[in-house]
Amino acid sequence: MKTILCAILFSASLFFHPAAAQQSPVLLEDALYSVLFPQINKAIEKQYGEEKKYDCPKIISMKKVYSGTYVFRTTIEIIKFEQRPGEKPRPPFDRVMITFNNEDGEWTVQAIKVQRLPDSTKLNCRKPV
């Protein structure tokens, strides 16, 4: 009985540990990106006529469309750039904001907005956990 109680207390301490709570939103954000990357790739290809390199995904907004459902409207920002194998990212850099919704059960692109960034742009992205 004492062993079971110790195991429960240990598990609870892991669950409520501050570091675990801090990682949870970042982990959920990474999970959303992994779901949206195929649609992001298609949107980039449609916008530029071919696949392009991009990085620095960032959630700009996420809103529930209907209360009590799992229907969302989400805007993701990425930075598009050019890059040859083995080289660093180079201009032109574009901030691409893609708005998605999943009203029909699948995530689809609703809008794309592109803004050119200066050639001196430096990528400083959060790495996935």
HSE toward the beta carbon, residue 100, CA cutoff 13 A: 25
How many helices (H) and strands (E) would you count in the chain? 2, 4
* Assessment of whether the complete model's pTM goes beyond 0.75: yes
DSSP string, 28-41: HHHHHHHHHHHHHH
pLDDT of residue 25: 87
Long-range interactions of 65-69: CB distance < 8 A, separation 24+: 65/101, 65/103
**Topology of domain 2-117, per CATH?**
Nuclear Transport Factor 2; Chain: A, (3.10.450)
pLDDT at 43 over 70: yes
The pLDDT value given to residue 129: 85
Residues 97, 34: Cα–Cα separation, whole Å: 17
pLDDT reading at 8 higher than 80: no
pLDDT tens-digit profile of 106-121?
999 999 999 999 999 9
Residue boundaries of the structural domains of the chain: 2-117
